[in-house]
A and B are shown apart, each in its own frame.
Chain A
Amino acid sequence: MPPSLPTPVKHVFFSPARIWAIATNTLLELFRLKVFYFLLIFALLLIGSSAFMIDFSFQEQFQLLKDVSLGSMSIFTWLLAVLATAMLLPKDIEDRTLYTILAKPVPRFEYLVGKLLGVLLLLFISTVVMSALFAVALYGRQQVVIAETIRNYAGAHQDQLRDALRGIRESTFTFSLIPGIAIIYVKAALFAALTLFISTFASSTIFTIMVSIACYFIGHLQGIARDYWLGNAATGALPRIFLALVALIFPDLQLFNLVDDIVAGNSVPMLLFAKTAALGGLYACIYLLVAYFVFASKEL
């Protein structure tokens, strides 16, 4: 009797397990590149700014600490998204890993989704760690100010002390900080997808990074271009075409700049936050889709 052959495994067109395997490998690869060292710089920034602010009033201290922390989070997540994503494809091509993966029955779309998911996981972990460090620094500063206030109000009426402490607590942790941080993550995710798209047709890593950074600055001016275009403020066909292209091709990144206003005391309506986050998600999906179009027709 001839030996029985192993039952052939049916190839699944879309496999979350394969995507997850690529994503975790990408994350591991990025871990090995020691990208988390930037967290040390973030922690130093927090400690440095906390020590530097002793001369300021407590409102100023909280304000500066929040601005420095959230601003740094925004910069670091954006840089991480751009730099980590820009090197993914060129590195895989250089190491020949890409050919090994695509020689297996892994569709190119899954490969791209897996790579992007790996970067998104890295960004998520980074955002969570930075948020935790920020919360610890803010809590520590809050406790110092509370202790000082209790000392200063030693002989005062209980109502006055209660009002003062309420003022301090309201100046530190507000619920709006959570959507603010979430939007920082969404913006970084959008950039990861955009950079992945650029890297599918880029000739080098440096080109990808440069174009991505240019997109960042143009994206922050997109709103102005759109207002000028739609408001018929520009005269002449050429400027109007240029403004229309800027408005239609680049993302409006000002929509994702909520932290400045949140730190200033504005609270974000939840519906608006949800719409902004959904728009960010949609951007990421579209950039992933066009990245696939380019990558699918790329000769490797």
Chain B
Amino acid sequence: MAVAAVLLLFGLVRLPIENSLNAQYRDAFFHGAKLNLGLRQQIGQTAFLAALGGFRALVADGLWIQAHMDWSRTEWGKMLFIFNNVTALQPRNMMFWDMSAWHMAYNASVAALQDTTQPRLALRLKHQHEYFIIGRDLLERGIANNPDRYKLYESLANVLRDKLMDHYNAALQYAAASKFPDSPTYEARFAAYELSYSPGHEREAYNDLVRLYKMGEKEWLPTLFSRLKYLQETLNIPAAQRIKIPEDQLPHPPHPKPQPQPPRQ
């Protein structure tokens, strides 16, 4: 009886301590995994038990290796299924979100376009676009789970820029990434470049590019000059206010014009 009393008393004493520690860990973005019945049905009882027993990283790694093997067999649907489970188990792991989105937006999308079993180009393009959207959605979910790190903002911006041709939103994501103190310096540069491709935002883009230009020679890159030249002409900047563009600094071939944006789903 005395032992039970001591244990219960200790339980009462430590309860607020544990609650407070849990809250502090949640604030520090720890323990983000939600282990629910849906996941239990998808990953199997043993893996679910291991995940509950504190080995969710190992379970996630096992599933990741499985996805890697499925990649070699180009089983994209199965890979997506596994990616959803892996990211549910380890929502704070940037690599899982990043690589999952990359597989979908860059690999599965190309495979869909080159699908020899589908003779209709329109359907192949539709499937390709669906994989772009899956990649984008994975990154958006990743950012919702990891709002405190720049990497996924950058990856999302890359998908928006390279695959969905959504330059304005790409600029916003690069700008969001550039706000993190540990982000690379090119994030701010890319944000300005992408804004320069966004119809209706030429004036802000021009101001950003001029600001970059004034930062010194380190920023005087061929793309900066190319975009400045384009915007100076588009905005009819008076000759006296124009920045002199050295022709030998322009990229060869000239930077391509933006493609029309597909509808955002």
What is the interface of chain A, defined by CB distance below 8 A to chain B? 55-57, 59-60, 63-64, 67-68, 70-71, 74-75, 163, 216-217, 220-221, 223, 226, 230, 247-249, 252-261, 263-266, 268-269, 272, 275-276, 279, 282-283, 286, 289-290, 293-294
Contact = CB atoms under 8 A, between A and B. Distances in A.
A60 B18 contact: no
Nearest to A256: B54
Contacts of B61: 63-64, 67-68
A97 B11 CA distance: 35
> Which 6 residue pairs are nearest across A and B when measured between Cβ atoms?
A248-B11, A264-B93, A260-B57, A71-B58, A264-B92, A67-B57
A266 B28 contact: yes
Given A226-B15, A247-B15, A257 B54 contact: yes
Contact of B64 (A60, A252, A256): A60
B94 A74 contact: no
A221 B28 contact: no
Contact of B54 (A247, A253, A283, A290): A253
The SS class assigned to the B binding surface is helix
20 contacts: A57-B99, A60-B64, A71-B57, A71-B58, A217-B52, A248-B8, A248-B11, A248-B12, A258-B30, A260-B57, A260-B90, A261-B92, A264-B92, A265-B94, A266-B30, A269-B24, A279-B17, A279-B18, A286-B6, A290-B6
B184 interface: yes
Given A255-B21, A264-B92, A269-B24, 13 more contacts: A55-B68, A57-B99, A60-B99, A67-B58, A68-B61, A71-B58, A74-B54, A220-B52, A226-B15, A248-B7, A249-B11, A264-B57, A269-B28
B221 interface: no
Contacts of B53: 216-217, 220
A289 B15 contact: no
A196 to B, nearest CB: 13
Contacts of A249: 7-8, 11
A276 B56 contact: no
B180 to A, nearest CB: 13
A247 B22 CA distance: 14
Contacts of B65: 64
B29 interface: yes
B52 A221 contact: yes
Given A255-B21, A293-B2, A261 B54 contact: no
Contacts of A283: 14
Interface residues of B, number: 43
Nearest to B10: A286
B95 interface: yes
A186 B95 CA distance: 28
B7 A226 contact: no
Contacts of A223: 18, 22
Nearest to B24: A272
Contacts of A56: 68
A77 to B, nearest CB: 12
Contact of B30 (A252, A261, A293): A261
B81 interface: no
Contact of B90 (A254, A255, A264, A272): A264
Contacts of A68: 58, 61
Which residue among A248, A264, A289 has the maximum number of chain B CB atoms within 10 Å of its CB? A264
A209 to B, nearest CB: 16
Given A67-B61, A255-B25, A276-B21, A265 B149 contact: yes
Interface string B83-108: 00000001011110001000000000
B55 interface: yes
Contacts of A57: 99
B128 to A, nearest CB: 24
A253 B65 CA distance: 27
A238 to B, nearest CB: 18
A60 B100 CA distance: 12
B71 to A, nearest CB: 10
B31 interface: yes
Contact of B57 (A259, A275, A294): A259
Contact of B56 (A55, A59, A258, A260): A260
A258 B32 CA distance: 11
Contacts of B7: 248-249, 286, 290
Contacts of A248: 7-8, 11-12, 15
Contacts of A59: 95, 99
B3 A293 contact: yes
Contacts of A60: 64, 95, 99
A95 to B, nearest CB: 27
B117 interface: no
Contacts of A63: 61, 93, 95
Contact of A261 (B14, B15, B31, B99): B31
A266 B12 contact: no
B19 interface: yes
A204 B57 CA distance: 34
Contacts of B99: 57, 59-60
Contacts of A266: 28-30, 92
